[in-house]
Amino acid sequence: MQKLGDYKLPQFFNYPPYFTLQPVRDTREKQVQLWKEMIVDYCRTQKIFVIGLEDDFPLFSNPVIQRFLSHEAREVFLSALVSDGRAEWLDKGHRKCLILWHRIQDWAEIVLQFVKDNGLEDSVMTVEEIRSGIESRGTELHGVDRTVLMRALKLLENKGKLAIFKGTSADDEGVKFSV
């Protein structure tokens, strides 16, 4: 089985036709599904949050079989993730895509579980401490994309689970949990 770093690539990755958009509807649906699963799984295991359509993203080519995805195929696969709620375009030109290997409401649940597991109810933390502090090491929150985290925190704030307060800079933003 071929690997990309420590990621085990699925078998279809070595099958040249999967690097070309398939014209038959049923075959294309299967192709799109396989690519969606692989992209989300790869991003989750490698902690990748943003994919650029023009970037040299490792999954977009397979040098072993000398194949690469066309711009159209990349857009089809990422747009399918957007349609499923597993990604969002970050720009109007659809050049950068935010990959949501957990949906925002799932990230919010992960934050709540993190708060409970660490006894942080009624505590104050900075956003940066949540993303890169000692408490978050070894958790999915460690290294989480700031945009994703802020959206999850805002969702929790709207539910009355916490309050976000501004500091003098973005690094100073804090969170008061009230779980």
**How far is the C-alpha of 62 from the C-alpha of 68, rounded, in Å?**
6
Is there a shared CATH topology between the 3-99 domain and the 104-177 domain? yes
Can you read off the two tokens belonging to residue 72?
């159209």
Helix (H, G, I), strand (E, B) or coil at 89: strand
Phi-psi region of 64 (alpha: psi -120 to 50; beta: other; left: phi over 0): alpha
* Beta-bridge partner residues of 89: 97
Digit-coded pLDDT (tens) for 109-136: 999 999 999 998 989 999 999 999 898 9
Q: What pLDDT, on the 0 to 100 scale, is given for residue 173? A: 87
Q: What pLDDT, on the 0 to 100 scale, is given for residue 167? A: 74
| Candidates 1.10.10.570, 3.40.1480.10, 3.90.1580.10, 1.20.1560.10; CATH matching 3-99 | 1.10.10.570
| Candidates 3.30.300.30, 3.40.50.300, 3.40.50.11540, 1.10.10.10; CATH matching 104-177 | 1.10.10.10
Q: Which of 86, 81, 100, 95 is nearest to 35 (CA)?
A: 81
Q: Which of 115, 124, 105, 129 is nearest to 164 (CA)?
A: 124
**How far is the C-alpha of 33 from the C-alpha of 68, rounded, in Å?**
18
Rg (CA), the chain: 19
Distances (CA, A) of 48 to 3, 43, 100: 17, 5, 10
Domain ranges for the chain, please list them. Answer: 3-99, 104-177
**How far is the C-alpha of 19 from the C-alpha of 44, rounded, in Å?**
22
Q: What pLDDT, on the 0 to 100 scale, is given for residue 166? A: 85
* Beta-bridge partner residues of 4: 7
Which one-letter amino acid corresponds to residue 11? Q
Tell me the pLDDT of the chain (179 aa) as tens digits. Answer: 678 888 999 999 999 999 999 999 999 999 999 999 999 999 999 999 999 999 999 999 999 999 999 999 999 999 999 999 999 999 999 999 999 999 999 999 999 999 999 998 989 999 999 999 898 999 999 999 999 999 999 999 999 999 999 877 666 789 999 87
Q: Which of 136, 135, 130, 37 is nearest to 81 (CA)?
A: 37
The model carries a pTM of: 0.87
DSSP secondary structure string, 48-65? --EEETTS--GGGEETTT
Q: What pLDDT, on the 0 to 100 scale, is given for residue 170? A: 62
